[in-house]
Chains A and B, each alone.
Chain A
Amino acid sequence: MTDAASEPTRPGPGGTARPLRPEPPAVRDAATNPWGDVWRQFRTHKGALLGLGFLVFVTLFCLLGPWLWPVSPGALDVRNKDLRPVYHLLWDGSARVSWSHPLGSDQLGRDLLAQLIAGGRVSLAVGWTAMLIAMLIGTLVGVLAGYFRWLDGILMRFTDLVLALPILPLLLVMMLLFRDPLRATFGPATGIFILIVTVIGATSWMQTARIVRGDVLALKEREFVLAARSIGTPARRMIPRHILPNVLSPIMVSATLGLASAIITESALSFLGLGFPSDFPTWGKLLFDSTDRMADFPERVLWPGLAISLTVLSVNYIGDGLRDALDPRIRGR
């Protein structure tokens, strides 16, 4: 992988074999815009492209949905409760369906489509924010522990401590302790959002911290870091310039996993009744609310479940593609 001989520029060494002035490799002279290269590489990853497409679709669906489908997710329509989705007509002519509830309605007559839209907003917001918080803490702890020897012991023992805590009971205690003060300060919806996001973020950064620390430790011994030290680059510029770009891959991977687990943890919290209030739909809560009548109404589990899985899957693929695209060694081959 090291030599520049992998490009098909000229057929042979030619008459004057000057190994130090070879013809430029097929890599484009990318002095203009490095992000152009990243995008070009990203496009070659089919899964990542599909994932990006789906993520954009889901995001737009959640953001613009309320305008396209202006039905309140909390509106009770008791006469039209327990409707099946309209596509049931395809194989079951006697199914109770209504075009006013294309995906059906639940036992209280709430519209499933509107609930999916509203739930997606909350779930995506929680997932992204919690993941970003976790990545921020994890990367910070990992880089500091890996780079500064004197911080390593303290920070990693702290990480071990948090890892050793039983997460679910901890979440419950935190919820009980902080729910009411936060509600009082920020209002019920924002308060609980802040609480959930912080709680999930603060309990899921440890894996990232460990992975990043290991990578930084290995990276610190590489010669280019030594070269930067011989130039006189201080630590505060060494880390953003040399360390962070080179630990981007593991961060990216754990970020995609982190988004997935944040959405799922939020569902679990909602299931335990400690998440958002009951009139506040999220994908996870829709899923858990419908489990007891799953056999009769599989679509109520299917749609939120599908939304969660596909979002997580697409984010994973995007992370995969981004990791490749951001690595100049993989790029361009």
Chain B
Amino acid sequence: MSETSARPSPEPVIAVRDLCMHFPIHRGLLRRQVGAVKAVDGVSFDVMPGETLGLVGESGCGKSTTGRAVLRLYDITSGSIRLEGVEIGQMPQSQLRRLRPRMQMVFQDPQASLDPRMTVEGIIREPLDEHTRLSSRQKRERVHELLDAVGLSRRFAGRYPHAFSGGQRQRIGIARALALNPRFVVCDEPIAALDVSIQAQVVNLLEDLQERFGLTYLFISHDLSMVRHIANRVAVMYLGRIVEMAGREALYADPLHPYTRALLSAVNEPDPGAARSRRRILLTGDVPSPADPPRGCNFCTRCPEVMPICREMDPALREVAPGRHVACHLHDPAITTPREPTRAAPTAVEAASTRGDQPPSILSTRSVP
């Protein structure tokens, strides 16, 4: 996995810092704000050119909100989003419009994301109408090129979305996203609504297109095996935060965060022998409400390896090995090794690289008072 971290650090296509997206809750007669759903609460990541960053997590953890907030489909609460070096976090929509061609989105539900009253040609042409000054003949030509690129027949251009199957509709959505030659594409669960037999085709199409057009993806999914297939790096989200971010191989071979371990243990194992020997980590309880997250670590209510400090202090996302980030006190050497119950300043990272290959055993961490 070192290829992502050892790169001579080109400028990231998208750099997100401390992104927060809180949806206010209004109650009562006067509609006063009584709280906020912290759908995304302090998320930071970079996506390098040509890379695919997988964003995984269970439903309701804020994956899709992150994807939409990054594209500024919401007005974000706070934080910084830089698209190729340009800060777009607080940019007004009118100014942002000029940057829209560089970032596009493929939506989750291909049925809902295509206007039922527009023909396929109209749908794919819409970005061209908005951002280019091509003649209608050139636009038609471009629409046909895009249909070819996503593997649909040109003859389908005059039809309406309802006449297509789910996989075909998703291809139309992909063609629309590619119409303006974007650099960065957010794929918001593009395969979740599709038949399993179609999923692989759509994912392969996305990979082909990435190769051909040099795209950079933020690939949001809850399907861990699919993310393993397509992503270079993977970020795991839980309750509005990234709990672990690492290269694909490292993350799947040796998950550090207890939540990642639990998630990965739920992935189906095709080999029956391996499946029998595997230990399933069952999480108990429900995800806490993002309107009222627990004190301390967000995962402390369900963590199988919870320590007292987890209920007190929120772990920061720290780099425990080159390219490996995890937000867990288990991997904070200042907390786990010197056994200091008082809060230690998050400084010592040196010991982390040696600890990386031997994850702390559950017994030793349980013994911490």
Q: Which residue of A lies closest to B108 (CB)?
A: A223
Q: If the complex has contacts A24-B156, A223-B109, are A4 and B115 also in contact, measured as CB distance less than 8 A?
A: no
Partner of B198, one of A20, A27, A30, A230: A20
| Range, interface on chain B | 35 or more
Among A51-59, A132-140, A240-248, A273-281, the one that faces the other chain is A240-248
Name the interface residues of A289-333: CB closer than 8 Å to any CB of B: 326-329, 331-332
Question: In whole angstroms, how far apart are the Cα atoms of A18 and B117 in the complex?
Answer: 27
Question: Which of B111, B131, B160: most chain A CB closer than 10 A?
Answer: B160
Q: Are A20 and B126 in contact (CB under 8 A)?
A: no
Q: Are A230 and B155 in contact (CB under 8 A)?
A: no
Partner of B167, one of A19, A29, A241: A19
Name the interface residues of B145-183: CB closer than 8 Å to any CB of A: 151, 153, 155-160, 162-168, 171, 173, 176
Q: Mark interface residues in A196-222 (1 if CB within 8 Å of B CB, else 0).
A: 000000000000000000000000001
Question: In whole angstroms, how far apart are the Cα atoms of A37 and B123 in the complex?
Answer: 19
Q: Does B112 sit within 8 A of A, measured CB to CB?
A: yes
Q: Are B116 and A329 in contact (CB under 8 A)?
A: yes
Question: In whole angstroms, how far apart are the Cα atoms of A117 and B73 in the complex?
Answer: 58
Among A67-75, A121-129, A231-239, the one that faces the other chain is A231-239
Contacts of B73 in A (CB 8 A): 226, 229-230
Question: In whole angstroms, how far apart are the Cα atoms of A223 and B198 in the complex?
Answer: 21
Partner of B201, one of A4, A20, A246: A20
Q: Does A224 sit within 8 A of B, measured CB to CB?
A: yes
Contacts of A232 in B (CB 8 A): 96-97, 100-101, 127, 130-131
Q: Are A29 and B201 in contact (CB under 8 A)?
A: no
Q: If the complex has contacts A3-B166, A19-B197, A31-B158, are A231 and B130 also in contact, measured as CB distance less than 8 A?
A: yes
Contacts of B115 in A (CB 8 A): 224, 228, 241-242, 245-246
Question: In whole angstroms, how far apart are the Cα atoms of A22 and B165 in the complex?
Answer: 9
Name the interface residues of B83-107: CB closer than 8 Å to any CB of A: 94, 96-97, 100-101, 104-105, 107
Partner of A21, one of B100, B130, B153, B158: B153
* Nearest CB of chain B from residue A252's CB, rounded to whole Å: 13
Q: Does A32 sit within 8 A of B, measured CB to CB?
A: yes
Q: Which residue of A lies closest to B109 (CB)?
A: A223
Q: Does A16 sit within 8 A of B, measured CB to CB?
A: no
Question: In whole angstroms, how far apart are the Cα atoms of A141 and B128 in the complex?
Answer: 30
* Nearest CB of chain A from residue B173's CB, rounded to whole Å: 8
Question: In whole angstroms, how far apart are the Cα atoms of A328 and B73 in the complex?
Answer: 28
Q: Does A185 sit within 8 A of B, measured CB to CB?
A: no
Q: Does A66 sit within 8 A of B, measured CB to CB?
A: no
Q: Does A184 sit within 8 A of B, measured CB to CB?
A: no
Contacts of B156 in A (CB 8 A): 24
10 shortest interchain CB distances as A-B pairs = A31-B158, A232-B100, A328-B160, A223-B113, A223-B112, A245-B117, A232-B97, A224-B115, A329-B162, A230-B105
Interface positions of B (Cβ within 8 A of A): 68, 71, 73, 94, 96-97, 100-101, 104-105, 107-109, 111-119, 121, 126-127, 130-131, 151, 153, 155-160, 162-168, 171, 173, 176, 197-198, 201
Interface positions of A (Cβ within 8 A of B): 1-5, 19-22, 24-25, 27, 29-32, 34, 222-224, 226-234, 237, 241-242, 245-246, 248, 326-329, 331-332
- List 27 A-B pairs, Cβ < 8 Å: A2-B165, A3-B165, A24-B155, A24-B156, A25-B159, A29-B155, A30-B158, A34-B119, A34-B158, A223-B108, A223-B112, A224-B114, A226-B68, A226-B73, A227-B173, A231-B130, A232-B131, A233-B130, A241-B115, A241-B126, A242-B118, A246-B115, A246-B116, A326-B117, A328-B117, A329-B160, A332-B163
Q: A21-B151, A231-B131 are in contact. List 6 more A-B contacts (CB 8 A).
A: A30-B119, A34-B119, A227-B105, A227-B176, A233-B130, A248-B117
